[in-house]
Amino acid sequence: MELSWDLLHPAMSVPYLPTLGPLHPDAVSADLLDAIASVAGTGQFLPHDKDRRWSDHKDERLLVGDVHQDARRTLLPTLTGRGILRVHLYGAREHRPEALETAAKLAAVHDATAARVVWFQAEPDLVAASTRVQLRSFDQPAPPVGGIEPLAALPEPVRPTFGAFAEKLADEGFAFLYSRIDSVGPVLTAVRDDRVVGAIGPMETMPDPTGKARLLPQYFGVLPEYRGLGLGRQLWRAAMHWGNISGADYQLLQTTVGGASDRLCQAEGLTDLGFVCTARV
C-alpha cells in the first residue's frame, strides 16, 4: 500500500523512523518517509544515513508491501539481513496486540530468525526494554577538557594498550571499533597508569536531511575498575567540545533508561525527545 505521511505524522510521539532511527524533530518529513520507501530492498543508503560509515550495503529494509495503516495506527515492518524482523507501531497502546500478532505472522512469512515490536511513548515502559532519545544542541560553547587526548596523539608505549581496552569492552562495541580504527574519525581517550582506561569515539559529523551537521553517535566506555572517578564525564565533555569546534549543530543519543550513560546525559541537561520501547515476540 502507499504510505501516507498525513496518517503517520499525528501518531508520531517520538521523532524516529524505521531503518534510520532517531532524528532531529525538524528532520522528520513526508519526503524522508518516501525516500526510505524508495530505497527499500536496494541495499542503497540514503545520503544522511549514519550507518553508511560502517558498510557499503544497507542491511535493514522497510517491507513496503507489508505496511498496515489507517487513521488509527500505522505498522511499519522492517527486516535485516540477519533475519531480525521489527514491526514499528505508531499509535495508541490498544494496538499493541495487533502489532505483536503482525510481527509473528510476518516472521513466519519472511523466515525471520527473531521478531520484535517497537513502539514510542512519552514515558519509559515498565515491562519492556526502553531507551531514551535525547538531544544535545551545540548552540552554547562547550569548553575544552584537560586530560583527554586523541588515541593517535598518545605516546607510543601507551597507544597499543587500546587493543586490550577494546577487548575488555567488546560487549560495548569497542572490539568492532578497534577493527575499523584506521578508517574512522578520532577516538578520544582517558589514560591512567600508562594505559587507556576510557574512550569515546569515533568523532565524526554528517549532514542530516535538512543540511544541519549532526555529531554521529559514539562508542563510549570506561573500564570497570576506573569507574566512579569522573572519567566518563570528562570524556563526554571532551566529545562535546570536539563537536562544538568541528561545527556540529546537534547530537542525538539513545541511552538505556537508568544506565550510566542515561544518568550522565540527564545530569548534563540534554533534552528528552521520548522513549523507544521494544518487546520480543
Cα 12-55-50 angle, rounded to 5 deg: 35
Regions of the chain short of the pLDDT cut 50: none
Helices 231-245 and 260-267, axial angle in degrees (round to 10): 60
Look at the block and give the residue holding cell 570524556.
235
In the sheet with 219-222, reading across from the earlier edge strand, the strands are 148-150, 188-192, 195-201, 219-222
Please give the full DSSP string across 201-247, using - where no structure is assigned. E---EEE-TTSPEEEPP-EEEE-GGGTTSSHHHHHHHHHHHHHHHTT
Tally of CB atoms within 10 A around 26: 12
Residue 127 pLDDT: 82
Residue 128 pLDDT: 87
Residue 126 pLDDT: 83
Q: 161-184: per-residue pLDDT in tens?
A: 999 999 999 999 999 999 999 999
| Structural domain boundaries in the chain | 5-130, 139-248
Q: 218-248: per-residue pLDDT in tens?
A: 999 999 999 999 999 999 999 999 999 999 9
CA-only gyration radius of the chain, Å: 20
Classify 139-248 by CATH class.
Answer: alpha beta
Residue 1 pLDDT: 61
Residue 141 pLDDT: 84
Q: Specify the pTM.
A: 0.93
Residue 35 pLDDT: 97
Cα 71-104-81 angle, rounded to 5 deg: 100
Look at the block and give the residue holding cell 522492517.
78
- Rounded Cα gap, residues 244 and 20, in angstroms: 24
- The residues, any chain, with a CB within 8 Å of residue 116's CB and separated by 6 or more, are 84, 85, 86, 87, 103, 278, 279, 280, 281
